[in-house]
Amino acid sequence: MVLPLPAPVVTALKKASDELADAGTFRGYGPEQGYDFLLNAIAGHYKSQGAHVEADEVFVSDGSKCDTANIQEIFGLDNVIAVTDPVYPVYVDTNVMAGRTGEAVDGRYGKLVYLPTTAENGFDPELPKGKTDIVYLCSPNNPTGAVMPRASLEKWVKYARENESILLFDAAYEAFIQEPGQVHSIYEIEGAREVAIEFRSLSKTAGFTGVRCAYTVVPKELKARNDKGEFVGLHGLWLRRQTTKFNGVSYPIQRAAEAVFSPAGKQAVGETIAYYMENARIIREGLGQAGFTVYGGVNAPYIWLKTPAGLGSWDFFDKLLNEAHLVGTPGAGFGSCGEGYFRLSAFGIRENVVEAVARIKAKIA
């Protein structure tokens, strides 16, 4: 990411830092889940998006990477996990490290259920054949840039309700959705509060990649069975996990995060996102004109391109590096179904994006 923090965020960060310099306003340990001012701002933001989330169902953290990585700790090791392929690697690797998977064969781990997400199914994963216990979904998607249609999310909520599955919904890129009517939160879907946990981050939304602040929602209706077959609330389990292992995000960062949801903050963040999405348009349209098959880039800051002439992802990486002096991310790094694809990011400076597209047109197409 190249654009600086929005001005209202920096103002809030400085003011809160000054408060810590004064004995009258100094703060030490805060609530592990986050200060009320931020929890209320987040709940209000959900409300404005047509989703019902209570302030005390929000858990503020230092990142969605940690949250999507740590969430598996509250589940038993015998749960069957489903992931899309390609996938954000954190979901897979943390389950491997926890010992929930079998041997790796040809880049795929035993016991994991892989859901191919390719051009053939419109980058909209099909339901697993049988019951799975935990399903990781990411929309808008990293790496494919696809957003899951409302009808598809309704289908997943129905599946989860019928199979007593838990959906782990990663909405780190929801703020990049441009098309009206697309789903920003899983809680816009009826019945989702009983089956889904949602993760959101200010990293991509507001340039917080280095500042670090994210949040996770665990609705109080959400339950899963323990080994005795009794239903247990996941809100209480996650609260216990966080209060045991985490002491909260620092006060100035939470004030900075609060500013993201203020009218001035929303305005500034909207401008930053518009800049990146214009980059995405330039890449998507430029490569399309050059004859590439491109996906994504409409509701997400990623363009997912089909490598030309059946080149492998890494062959295309080498070609791009050697012939155009550009780098991107080989699709194969996100899973075996990413082979033959390549991810380009819109998080660049405009003139570099324009130059990169010109070089691809001149040297690669």
Ligand X SMILES: *Cc1c(COP(=O)(O)O)cnc(C)c1O
Distances (CA, A) of 170 to 48, 190, 216: 19, 18, 9
- Measured in degrees and rounded to the nearest 5, phi and psi for residue 77 equal -75, -15
Q: Which is nearer to ligand X, 203 or 329 (CB)?
A: 203
Figure out which of the listed residues 101, 117, 132, 142 binds ligand X, where binding follows CB under 6 A: 142
- The least CB distance from residue 257 to ligand X, in Å, is 12
Q: Which is nearer to ligand X, 144 or 313 (CB)?
A: 144
Angle (CA) 166-172-175 rounded to 5° is 125
Burial of 29 (0-12, 13-18, 19+ CB in 10 A): exposed
Q: Within 13 Å, how many C-alpha atoms sit on residue 97's CB side?
A: 10
Q: By CB under 6 A, what part of segment 152-211 binds ligand X?
A: 170, 172, 201, 203-204, 209
Distances (CA, A) of 131 to 95, 134, 224: 18, 9, 14
Using CB under 6 A as the criterion, what x/- string covers residues 106-135 for binding ligand X? Answer: ------------------------------
d(CA 125, CA 147): 11
CB 228 within 8 A of CB 254: no
Distances (CA, A) of 46 to 55, 58, 156, 213: 10, 11, 21, 17
- The least CB distance from residue 19 to ligand X, in Å, is 25
Using CB under 6 A as the criterion, what x/- string covers residues 310-339 for binding ligand X? Answer: ------------------------------
The reply to whether 214 sits near ligand X by the rule CB under 6 A is: yes
Residues 6+ apart with CB under 8 A from 318: none
> By Cβ distance, which residue is nearest to ligand X?
63
- The least CB distance from residue 214 to ligand X, in Å, is 4
Q: Which is nearer to ligand X, 172 or 357 (CB)?
A: 172
Q: Which is nearer to ligand X, 71 or 259 (CB)?
A: 71
- The least CB distance from residue 213 to ligand X, in Å, is 8
Q: Which is nearer to ligand X, 186 or 214 (CB)?
A: 214
Q: Which is nearer to ligand X, 46 or 302 (CB)?
A: 302
Q: How many residues bind ligand X (CB under 6 A)?
A: 13
Looking at this protein, which amino acid is placed at residue 174? E
**Helix, strand, or coil here: 319?**
helix
- The least CB distance from residue 138 to ligand X, in Å, is 5
Looking at this protein, which amino acid is placed at residue 185? S
Using CB under 6 A as the criterion, what x/- string covers residues 44-83 for binding ligand X? Answer: -------------------xxx------------------
Figure out which of the listed residues 38, 135, 138, 357 binds ligand X, where binding follows CB under 6 A: 138
DSSP string, 90-120: HHHHHHHHHT----EETTEETTPEEEE-SGG
- The least CB distance from residue 204 to ligand X, in Å, is 6
- The least CB distance from residue 142 to ligand X, in Å, is 4
Q: Which is nearer to ligand X, 95 or 286 (CB)?
A: 95
d(CA 165, CA 160): 4
d(CA 234, CA 63): 20
- The least CB distance from residue 225 to ligand X, in Å, is 27
- The least CB distance from residue 300 to ligand X, in Å, is 10
Q: Which residues bind ligand X (CB under 6 A)?
A: 63-65, 88, 138, 142, 170, 172, 201, 203-204, 209, 214
